[in-house]
Amino acid sequence: MSVALGTTRPLPVRTTLVGDPGDLLASLPRTAPYAWIRNGEGLVGWGEAARVTVPPGPGRFAWARRWLATVLGEAHVDDAVHAPGSGAVAFGSFTFDEDAHGSVLVVPRAVLARRDGHAWLTTIGDAPLETFTPIRDPGRISYGDGSLSAPEWEHVVASAAKRIREGELEKVVLARDLVATAERPIDVRLLLTRLARRYPECYTFSVAGLVGATPELLIRRTGQEIESLVLAGTTPRGTGPADDLARGKALLASTKDRHEHECAIASVRQTLSPLCSSLTTPDEPELLMLPNVQHLASHVTGRLADGASVLDVVAAMHPTAAVGGTPTHTAIEVIRELEGMDRAGYAGPVGWIDARGDGEWGIALRSGLVEGRRARLFAGGGIMGDSDPAAELAEAQAKFRVMQYALEG
């Protein structure tokens, strides 16, 4: 059901404590599952109490907040939990490009959550009793070029690196897509289950067909406290512990990757400082090791000065240098000119927000857009002046493997 701004009816919302539900993802019915899971904790939802397509443009996050204030703010709430993620919750996915269509917010009819040793169920109205159907394997998967072939994308990378060397910009993040076609309709629950098991440290998400497991936390708001995890600089995993160690040391010593990471940290610092009464960024990045790659990572923490909601912080932060480039405006124009595709929700904000303004939003990396038997997979990387097109292609291929594993097992 779609609900237009200004025409909503108050939603009857009830949140109650429940026993440990076990695997949250195992509770999802087949139709329209919503999910945000890390290390077995988080939220899953189903059904639709309210849904809206957010109009594109520079004011889209403000429009979304007004819509949420109308829908969630006027709800009749009986909340026995009073925790971040209790009461009415909206899941959302915003396109990377503010001018692109496809941003969406959904308030599920039912949300099952577990956090910090407590579990609860939120229902809106008479939440439908969805029938659980067995998860079905999609069968054989075949792959084909997306918007650009591999050689075409390497040419794009070379063109971008040349423009960086000529001084037009410092960094640009370029993405590419890959089309996967299955024998049978793709069951999103299967992808979520595989991703959550293989990448427990990532945020496994599902919103309106966009499915993935992102290592990058754009922002978490709990009351006035905020936290962000900045990732920029990547190397593939090695063939064993010794090779992993060598690759990690090389990544930490890489001038190109360290500069890329510094651009990303500077972008976050510049964006968050006006919103915060205090902000802490580390002096040195650390290594984040995932099953397929290693990243340079920095944890950023702060305290909001004026009570902004998590969506206000998302609006201020997106796009970060980690997914756009430096300077941001120039990088976005280069992406539009060179990349040759619509990113849709890839590298855009994805996550959830409750009526108090708390929530968690990540950057939709390692993801795919699923529809029927078809999935459009996305991957990318930061391009600097000395980037090697073949190496950047190999990095993107390594990142594709996350969703290829989810499809193939």
**Residues classed as catalytic:** 171, 216
Gap between the Cα atoms of 283 and 263, Å rounded:
13
For residue 160, give the 3-state DSSP assignment: helix
Quick check: 34 and 85 in contact, CB under 8 A?
Answer: no
327: cis peptide before it, omega within 30°? yes
**Residue 183 backbone phi and psi in degrees, to 5:** -65, -35
Which residues partner with 359 through β-bridges? 221, 353
Spatial distance between the Cα atoms of 246 and 241, rounded to a whole number of angstroms: 9
| 28 vs 290: CA distance, rounded Å | 26
Selection from 111, 181, 95 nearest residue 143 by Cα: 181
ω into 151 cis (within 30 of 0): no
Residue 391, C-beta contacts closer than 8 angstroms, at least 6 positions apart: none
